[in-house]
Amino acid sequence: MRLSFYPGCSLEGMANDYARSIDTVFRDLGIDLVEIEDWSCCGATAAHSLSQTMSVVLPARNLAVAEKMGLDIVSPCAMCFNRLRFSQNMIRKKVFDIPWHVTGELRVHDMTRFMAEPSMIKSIKKRVLKPLNGLRVVCYYGCQMVRPPKITGYTDYENPQTLDRIIATTGAQVIDWSYKSTCCGASIGIARREIQESLTRRILQKAQQAGAEAIVVSCPLCQSNLDIIQKDRSDRCTPVFYFTELLRLSFMESGASKLFKMHFADPVSLLKAKRLL
Amino acid sequence: MQNIISGLNQAHEHVPGKKRKLIGDRGDFFLNRMQGETGVNISACYQCERCTNACPVSHFMDIKPHQAIRYVQLGWREDLLKSSTIWICLSCEMCTTYCPNEVDVAEIIHHLRNMAVHSSITPKEKSLAVFHQTFLEVLRKSGRINELRLMNAYYLKPDILHERIKNNILKEDLLLGMALLRKGRLKLFTPKFRAIKEIKKAYSQTRGEIV
Ligand code: SF4
Ligand code: SF4
With a pLDDT cut of 90, the percent of chain A lying above it is 74
Beta strands across the sheet bearing A2-5: A32-35, A2-5, A73-75, A108-110
Residues B181, B151: one domain? yes
Residues B192, B166: one domain? yes
Radius of gyration of chain A (CA): 18
How far apart are alpha carbons B117 and B87 in whole angstroms?
11
Residue B180 near chain A (CB below 8 Å): yes
Residues B31, B116: one domain? yes
Ligand 2 atom index nearest CA of B54: 5
Residue having the nearest C-alpha atom to atom 2 of ligand 2:
B89
> What is the value of ipTM here, to two decimals?
0.90
Give DSSP secondary structure letters for A75-106. Answer: ESSHHHHHHHHHHHHHHHHT-S--SS---S-S
DSSP state of A48: H
pLDDT in tens, chain B (211 residues): 444 444 444 445 556 666 666 665 666 889 999 999 999 999 999 999 999 999 999 999 999 999 999 999 988 888 999 999 999 999 999 999 999 999 999 999 999 999 998 889 999 998 899 999 999 998 888 888 888 889 889 998 888 888 888 888 888 888 888 889 888 888 877 766 777 888 888 888 777 666 5
Of the three residues B51, B85, B120, the one that is the final residue of a domain is: B120
Residues B209, B169: one domain? yes
Q: Do B136 and A47 touch (CB under 8 A)?
A: yes
Give DSSP secondary structure letters for B130-158. Answer: HHHHHHHHHHHHHSS--HHHHHHHHHTST
Of the three residues B94, B120, B146, the one that is the final residue of a domain is: B120
Residues B115, B25: one domain? yes
pLDDT digits over A23-51, tens only? 999 999 999 999 998 899 999 989 888 88
Question: Domain containing B80: what range?
Answer: 21-120
Chain A interface, best mutation among B107, B164, B185, by max A CB count within 10 A: B185
CATH 3.40.50.11810 location in chain A: 129-273
How far apart are alpha carbons A6 and A189 in whole angstroms?
25
Residues B25, B115: one domain? yes
Distance in Å, CA B50 to ligand 1 centroid: 6
What contacts B123, CB < 8 A, 6 or more positions away? Answer: B86, B87, B116, B117, B129
Q: Which of residues 193-212 of A touch B (CB under 8 A)?
A: 193, 195, 199
B195 assigned to some structural domain = yes
Structural domains counted in chain B: 2
- CATH at B50: 1.10.1060.10
Residues B27, B116: one domain? yes
CATH 3.40.50.11810 describes domain A129-273: yes
Residues B142, B185: one domain? yes
Residues B32, B116: one domain? yes
pLDDT digits over B40-81, tens only? 999 999 999 999 999 999 999 999 999 999 999 988 888 999
Smallest Cα–Cα separation from A9: which of A77, A73, A89? A77
